[in-house]
């Protein structure tokens, strides 16, 4: 009875259900979706390979508590499709994939659980390469390395590697700079007010970059200790997680989970620009249209938050060197400028222009 109740609840909650088990509306279907479980460790994982047109599917592993398995499936499909667009826009030689692990109520042995996940990744024989995402750490990736070679985001002695979150934050930071220059005519961020929704690994690094550039910060996080730390270290103004999206600011930077921009939240937004690190910020494509109609410039997440995947991709290929990677991530700002030029020329919304631009790159080499 409980299982049936959960299923009924999921089926009445639109964001919890994939419209198709093969993919999302208006996108190519997923090439492969693997369900992996291991009773001994409690592993329940979904590995979604959206596209290998540009190369092996590359994307992180999320470790999260979901309301039900359908919600986890929907998240995996949305995230992996987003990775195809992100990797294409970043001109990386990789396709898009993502994994989600449903966080057990009780974790018996985290190392053993990620070892089991590593074996699942290895079973795909290189079709999918994993790395950190929400809820996973460099320690998890290091443990998996014993069971699969298809893992990145690992500290490597004497060479580039490790936690990609600072690179993700840097990409968002330079995108905010580019957006503020184009939209507000400002040469720098001094005095620009930015609302940060979420102070996790990426959000915190972004706050550091913004504070150093002279921006005024408004912050919210479910962890009150992080908020207090931001107030002390950055002079940030704290608001509740229910108020942050509607804050009276110049820039809104969603850095928590996805689908925060939806039919309920968008009418309350006061920011002129939305540019953040969270994946899949729009609940639906039409929400990007609504932002545009309201005169809010949305810089799509799969364009601006590519710094992390650039970092782990270069590490995986053995091409990484700190300053070179930072320089490559900084070029995201140029793509933001190009996107806004394309928007001006076409009259289409940033979300739709970025989507079409990315899909034009999702082609297999001749």
C-alpha span between 31 and 132 (Å, rounded): 22
Is 139:61 a contact under the CB 8 Å cutoff?
A: no
- In angstroms, what CA-CA distances link 43 with 12, 64, 106, 238? 27, 12, 11, 37
**Torsion sign across C-alpha atoms 180, 186, 189, 190:** negative
**Torsion sign across C-alpha atoms 268, 289, 9, 279:** negative
C-alpha span between 341 and 356 (Å, rounded): 14
Is 82:41 a contact under the CB 8 Å cutoff?
A: no
Question: What are the structure tokens assigned to 340, written together?
Answer: 């806004």
> What is the number of alpha carbons within 13 Å of residue 298 lying toward its C-beta?
31
H-run or E-run covering 37: strand 32-38
Is 277:202 a contact under the CB 8 Å cutoff?
A: yes
Q: Name the pairing type of β-strands 193-197 and 43-51.
A: unpaired
Question: What are the structure tokens assigned to 164, written together?
Answer: 């990609």
Task: Give the number of residues written for the chain.
Answer: 366
Residue that the structure tokens 């972004």 belong to: 206
Active site residue 146: no
Is 279:254 a contact under the CB 8 Å cutoff?
A: no
Q: Name the pairing type of β-strands 43-51 and 32-38.
A: antiparallel
Is 55:309 a contact under the CB 8 Å cutoff?
A: no
User: CA nearest 360: which of 84, 172, 93?
Assistant: 84
Catalytic residue among 98, 167, 216, 226: 98
Active site residues: 98
């Amino acid at each position: 009875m409980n299982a049936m109740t959960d299923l009924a609840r999921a089926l009445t909650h639109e964001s919890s259900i994939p419209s198709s088990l093969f993919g999302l509306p208006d996108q190519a279907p997923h090439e492969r979706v693997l369900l992996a479980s291991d009773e001994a460790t409690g592993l329940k994982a979904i590995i979604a390979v959206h596209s290998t047109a540009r190369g092996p599917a590359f994307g992180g592993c999320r470790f999260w508590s979901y309301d039900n398995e359908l919600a986890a499936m929907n998240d995996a499909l949305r995230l992996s499709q987003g990775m195809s667009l992100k990797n294409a826009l970043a001109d990386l030689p990789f396709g898009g994939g993502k994994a989600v692990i449903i966080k057990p109520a009780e974790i018996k042995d985290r190392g053993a659980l990620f070892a089991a996940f590593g074996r699942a990744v290895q079973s795909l024989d290189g079709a999918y390469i994993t790395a950190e995402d929400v809820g996973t750490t460099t320690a998890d990736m290091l443990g998996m390395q014993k069971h699969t070679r298809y893992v990145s985001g690992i500290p490597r002695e004497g060479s580039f590697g490790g936690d990609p979150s600072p690179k993700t934050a840097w990409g968002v930071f330079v995108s905010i700079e580019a957006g503020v220059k184009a939209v507000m005519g400002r040469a720098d961020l001094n005095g620009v007010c930015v609302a940060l929704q979420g102070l996790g690994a990426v959000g915190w690094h972004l706050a550091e970059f913004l504070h150093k550039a002279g921006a005024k910060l408004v912050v919210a996080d479910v962890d009150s200790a992080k908020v207090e730390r931001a107030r002390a270290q950055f002079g940030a103004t704290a608001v509740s997680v229910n108020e942050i999206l509607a804050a009276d600011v110049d820039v809104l930077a969603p850095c928590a989970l996805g689908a925060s921009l939806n039919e309920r939240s968008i009418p309350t937004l006061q920011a002129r620009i939305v540019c953040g690190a969270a994946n899949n910020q729009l609940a639906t494509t039409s929400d990007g249209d609504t932002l545009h109609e309201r005169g809010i410039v949305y810089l799509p997440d799969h364009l601006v938050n590519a710094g992390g995947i650039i970092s782990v991709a270069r590490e995986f290929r053995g091409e990484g060197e700190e300053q070179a990677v930072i320089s490559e991530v900084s070029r995201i700002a140029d793509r933001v400028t190009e996107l806004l030029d394309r928007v001006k020329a076409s009259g289409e919304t940033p979300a739709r222009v970025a989507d079409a631009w990315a899909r034009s790159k999702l082609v297999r080499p001749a």
